[in-house]
Structure 1
Amino acid sequence: MNLRRKLLLVALCTLALPVAGWLYVRQMETLLREGQAQALTASARAVARSLVATGATLPQQPQGWYVEQAGTPITIDGYGDDWAPLTPWSQPLGPRGSVLLAEDAGGLYLYVQQRGIKRVRADADDPGALHADHLVLELQRGDTHLRYLLASAAPGTFTARLLDPPVADWPDRLVGQWQEDGGGWRLELRLPRPLIVDRLGLGLYDASAGGDPLAVELRPLWHYSPALAQELARLAPEDTRARVLAPTGWLLAQSGRLQAAGPQPGWFAALVYRALLANPVEDAAPWTQDAPRLDLPEITRARAGDPATAWRDGETRASVVLAAAVPIGAPGQVRGVLLLEQASTTVPLLANRALLTLLLTSFGVLLVAGGILLWFATRLSLRLGRLRDAAERAQLADGRLDGLFAQGRFPLTAAPDEIGDLARSFERLFEAVGGYTDYLRTLASKLSHELNTPLAIVKSSLDNLEHALEAHAPVPPDARPYLERARDGVARLGTLVRAMSEASRMERAIAAAEAEDVDLREVVRGCAEAYRPLVGTRTLACELPDTPLPMHCAPELLAQALDKLLDNALSFTPADGWLRLVLSACDDGAEITLANQGPGLPAAMQARLFDSLVSLRDKATPGEAPHLGLGLYVVRLVAERHGGHASARNLEDGSGVAFTLRLRNMSRQRL
Structure 2
Amino acid sequence: MKIRTSLTLKNTAATAAVFLICLTAIYLVSEHTRSKTFFHTLESEAITKAHLFLQNQVDARIMQEIHLNNRNFIDEVEVAVYTTGFRMLYHDAVQNDIIKEDSAMISRILQDRSIEFYVGDYQGIGMLYAFDGDNYIVTAAAYDRYGHDNLAKMRTTLGILFIIGVFLLFVTGYLLARAALQPIRGIVREAGAVTASHIDRRLPVKNAKDELGELALAFNALLSRLETSFNAQKTFVSNVSHELRTPLAALIAELDLALQKERNEEEYRKAIHHALQDAARMTKLIDGLLNLAKADYRQEQIKMEAIRLDELLLDVRALLLRAHPDYRIELLFEREEDDDRMITVEGNLYLLTIAISNLIENNCKYSEDHTSCVHISYWDEWAILRFSDSGSGMSEEELHNLFTLFYRGEQESMAEGHGIGMALAQKIVQLHHGEIAAHSEPGQGTTFIVELPHI
More strand as a share of residues: 1
Give the alignment's TM-score, normalised by structure 1.
Answer: 0.32
More helix as a share of residues: 2
